[in-house]
A and B are shown apart, each in its own frame.
Chain A
Amino acid sequence: MDVVVLVKQVPDTESLIQIEGDGVSIKTDDIKWVMNPYDELAVEAALQIKEAKGGTVTILSLGPEKTVETIRTALAMGADKGVHIFDPAADGSDALSKGKLLAAALKTLPFDLVIAGMRAVDEDNYQVGSAVAELLDIPQISQVTKVAVEDQTIKCHRVIEGGTVVVEATLPALFTTQRGLNEPRYASLPGIMKAKKKPIDTLSLADLGIDPETVGPAGRKVKVAVLNFPPDRKTVKMVDGGNPGEMAAKLVKILHEDVKAI
């Protein structure tokens, strides 16, 4: 079973996000970059499938030069090889263009299964996995919490509003990860040493046969007009009182009479 995992490098969730002077991008200098948490679940799922069924795990990532660090992290967890789409002309692509670039790269790779995160915690687009599946014309199952792989099919549990469904798809297919799927392993020291020798191929737009005008800023269907910080909340009103009973009575009175939330 050949599995390709789509991995994105994103700002650590603790990061302070600041808006650049242009008003449409974020400052990147002080950010700590990490693997998207949902993609950690995807790498772990791929490694578990490889352990059970044999085959290969390839990490595919699109991004600037430093993306290589995140690819290495995945290799240190146990993946076999990396593919890095790296081309300045791809900078500033929107989610759909990213899907096009990743799908084009996937067409050059052997795969039975593609695993992506359900969302990247930077732009929170929840989009790239579905775009890739569509452009490859393969079935997708999103937000998966449990997976069983057979020879020709995968069976996935997905939690939906008000319940769980089990969906079966024929391979090749793509699924996206939801929390609960697994607990991602950490890279071990020997893993980190081995990762240094594992191959990472770099692909440019020319390698992928993609016209630079169709991706990057020129290809955007979604244009950021402006970035804002969310409005501040008013300062908290602490409900005081001598004992829990008094505080509770005051709180419930406010919620009922003033804000009408109860």
Chain B
Amino acid sequence: MAQGVFVICEQQDGAFRKISYEAVSEGRRQADSLNTDLTALVLGGGVTEMAADLEKFGPDKILVADDPALTDYSTEAYTTVCTHAIKSRDPMVIITGASTQGKDLSARLAARLDAGLAMDCVAIRIENDQLIYTRPMFGGKILAEINIIGTPHIVAIRSNVMAITESSMTCTIDQLDIQVDEPKTKVIDKKLESGDKVELTEADVIVSGGRGTGGDYGAIEELAALLNGAVGASRSAVDEGWRPHSDQVGQTGKVVSPNLYVACGISGAIQHLAGMSTSKNIVAINKDSEAPIFSKADFGVAGDLFEVIPEIIKEVKKIKE
């Protein structure tokens, strides 16, 4: 009978992505509630040494698939290796991040294993011995609670939602014996941004600007940098060409759940709210005190962003000193 929790971890160029720690921590919690083991699976080229970084989040076992052919993510190669690991161990639940890679991999894997998938899941719980997965639909207008029939269950968790917790378990690290065929897709070029830019979906703080910025993101960028955060944008700002598409938050942009989301000069259209309504704390700064964004915010400032943000920067600097 299928048992055990499996977590597929994600790394890039020698570092685990934050979502991997979230996934292993959540995996530990679920393995404890199910009274079963947690296995973390690490795939990549030259990843054997870094695999031990996961130990503090509590896996019972770490499985490493280390092969030059796995250096760059490839749907085919990763699906094949994961399938091999899963088939030989028959886990009940497989958790991965709902990152760009995790979405691609979990969906392909679900089809290969003919398994049910809870995509972009924000909560997992057990009720009457049944696992229940909560996932937003319709741009977050609805929260669906779903059951998965049969095993394994595949669950891709939303970034920045599940807590990272450490645990004092000891674990074993094993190498997975794998063979990777020449894949039909290959990465022919890769451009990574410089190290200090915070990825929007992983950021604890996001300062977002909309049409109200008139294209001037100076103060927004300064505040974001001061808070170690990232800059986001509404679609109007992207359409104006002020910000790249990768900064867009919303139903046709990124879905983010930072600890703090500061919406500046954003009216609060339903499609924008779809991307940020699960943020823990929402601040809106808008010169129109009737703007719909205020109905979805926790704290509001009715004022001109060009006057308010520089003052916020001053206050934050005072705290930091």
Residues of A in contact with B (beta carbons under 8 Å apart): 11, 13-15, 17, 19, 26, 37-38, 94-96, 99, 121-127, 129-131, 133-135, 138-143, 145, 155, 158-170, 173, 178-180, 220-230, 233-234, 236-239, 244-245, 247-249, 251-256, 259, 261-262
Contact = CB atoms under 8 A, between A and B. Distances in A.
Given A139-B184, A255-B283, A261-B205, A13 B270 contact: yes
A234 B298 contact: yes
Given A94-B116, A179-B248, A165 B147 contact: no
A99 to B, nearest CB: 6
Interface of B: 12, 17, 72, 75-76, 79, 98-101, 103-104, 107-108, 110-112, 114-120, 132, 135-150, 183-193, 197, 199, 201-202, 205, 227, 244-246, 248, 251-253, 259-260, 270-271, 274, 277-278, 280-284, 289, 294-304, 307-308, 311-312, 314-316, 319
A159 B238 CA distance: 15
B199 A162 contact: yes
Given A167-B186, A224-B144, A140 B75 contact: yes
A223 B139 contact: no
A145 B147 CA distance: 34
Given A126-B103, A162-B12, A259-B281, A239 B114 contact: no
B192 A221 contact: no
Contact of A261 (B111, B271, B280, B308): B280
Contacts, number: 264
A261 B138 CA distance: 28
The secondary-structure label for the interface of chain A is: mixed
A130 B107 contact: yes
Contacts of B72: 165
B245 A96 contact: no
B71 to A, nearest CB: 12
A238 B270 contact: no
8 contacts: A139-B185, A162-B199, A228-B144, A236-B298, A238-B300, A245-B314, A262-B260, A262-B316
Given A96-B110, A234-B298, A223 B140 contact: no
Nearest to A118: B103
A75 B72 CA distance: 38
Contacts of B191: 163-165
B303 A161 contact: no
B144 A227 contact: yes
Contacts of B297: 233, 236
Contact of B118 (A129, A222, A233): A222
Given A13-B270, A131-B110, A247 B303 contact: yes
B139 A13 contact: yes
B188 A13 contact: no
A139 B107 contact: no
Contacts of B303: 244, 247
B230 to A, nearest CB: 11
A262 B227 contact: yes
B299 A224 contact: no
Given A121-B139, A160-B99, A249-B311, 17 more contacts: A139-B75, A140-B185, A141-B185, A142-B75, A155-B188, A166-B187, A168-B188, A169-B185, A173-B184, A224-B146, A225-B147, A226-B144, A229-B143, A230-B136, A244-B307, A249-B315, A256-B319
A74 B239 CA distance: 23
Contacts of A167: 185-188
B271 A13 contact: yes
A221 B149 contact: yes
Nearest to A253: B315
Nearest to B130: A225
A163 B95 CA distance: 24
A256 to B, nearest CB: 6
Nearest to B258: A261
A163 B251 contact: no
B167 to A, nearest CB: 24
Contacts of B146: 222-225
Given A162-B193, A169-B185, A255-B281, A140 B104 contact: yes
A49 to B, nearest CB: 18
A130 B111 contact: yes
A227 B143 contact: yes
A244 B107 contact: no
A255 B137 CA distance: 30
A122 B137 contact: yes
Given A17-B138, A166-B187, A221-B115, A247 B308 contact: yes
Contacts of A19: 142
A36 to B, nearest CB: 10
A197 to B, nearest CB: 32
A42 to B, nearest CB: 13
Contacts of A223: 146-149
A165 B108 contact: no
A138 to B, nearest CB: 8
Given A26-B142, A224-B146, A252 B316 contact: yes
Contacts of A228: 142-145
Given A121-B138, A139-B184, A224-B146, A236 B299 contact: yes
A124 B300 contact: no
B116 A222 contact: yes
